[in-house]
Amino acid sequence: MSFRPDKLTRLPVQPRGDIVPPVPGAADDPVRALEAAAVDDALLQRLISGDEQAFDHLVRTWSPAMRRVARGFVSTDASAQECVQDAWLGAIKGLASFEGRSTLRTWIFRILVNIAKTRAVKEQRTTPLSSLASDEDAGPTVDPRRFRPRDDPERPGTWTSAGQPRLWETDPEAGALSSELRDVVWAAVEALPGRQREVVILRDVQGFGGGEVCEILGLTAENQRVLLHRARAKVRAALEAYYSGETT
């Protein structure tokens, strides 16, 4: 192959528009799985043939999420960036032997996670245990005080009048597309425990299916569902606080 390692730090200002991105959520949808396979085959042939524009596009498109996933394992942003670069180098070296048993994107993210886990083991030998965040999170996903008690004579276990969810802003120009709202969402995602952050980024940002995430992170289906539920609940709570004016 003709790719050079230094290309990892010299990306084009704008990627080519004719490179079709991977199909989100393909693992959970048979039709999308077929579409993803066709995209993978075409992309793989371009990469194997040494198409640097195709490679540069993938680096630009996937690296931000890869850094966030790696950061869930390692202790610094710089270390996460090194994991991403090592993952791309590993992918380049292994492309010729890629057998297509998973999607190209799943394969590359699995390489990344293996590299990040290995680096994390080394870092933990020198990092104080007190500085390592715990992933344990067994508490309720919604404040129990927002629900009526089980012995309530009218509607046990339902929302209280003060605790029930409120409608949010529905105007896309004023809401979902605003940079301020995106900042709120990303701050909430970055504050999640590592495994929750990895799962929600892969599922809700990158569009991986549940089966793909289990394969990349080595999770059981049940564990993946629990982590995703908890992550989404915390992001939603941050949005609820934003819309209610409880945050500044």
Q: Give a yes or no: residue 156 inside a domain.
A: no
Rg (CA), the chain: 21
Instruction: Let me know if residue 70 belongs to a domain.
Output: yes
Task: Indicate the residue among 64, 98, 122 that finishes a domain.
Answer: 122
User: For residue 85, is it within any domain?
Assistant: yes
Residue 177, pLDDT score: 54
Cβ pair 112, 83 in contact under 8 A: yes
Residue 193 token pair: 């425990």
Across-strand partners of 147?
159
The residue among 155 and 29 whose pLDDT is bigger is 155
CA torsion 194-196-201-205 (nearest 10°) is: -160
Q: Nearest to residue 194, comparing CAs of 80, 89, 26?
A: 80
Q: How many domains does the chain have?
A: 2
Q: CA-CA distance, 84 to 64, in Å (whole number)?
A: 9
Sorted by sequence, the CB contacts under 8 Å of residue 56 that are 6+ apart come out as 7, 11, 12, 15
In terms of domains, do 54 and 113 share one? yes
Q: What is the pLDDT of residue 115?
A: 95
Is the pTM higher than 0.95? The answer reads no
Q: What is the CATH number of the domain that holds 94?
A: 1.10.1740.10
Encode pLDDT of 121-151 as tens digits. Answer: 888 754 443 344 444 466 667 767 767 777 7
101 lies in the same domain as 195: no
What gap in Å lies between CA 246 and CA 248, rounded to an integer? 7
Q: Which segment of 19-28, 99-108, 110-119, 166-175 scores lowest on mean pLDDT? A: 19-28
What's 222's domain CATH number? 1.10.10.10
As a whole number of angstroms, the distance between CA 231 and CA 237 comes to 10
CA nearest 119: which of 162, 63, 80, 161?
80
Closest by CA position to 104, among listed 144, 162, 170, 57? 57
Give pLDDT tens digits for 223-245: 999 999 999 999 988 888 887 77
Note down the domain range covering 212: 171-248
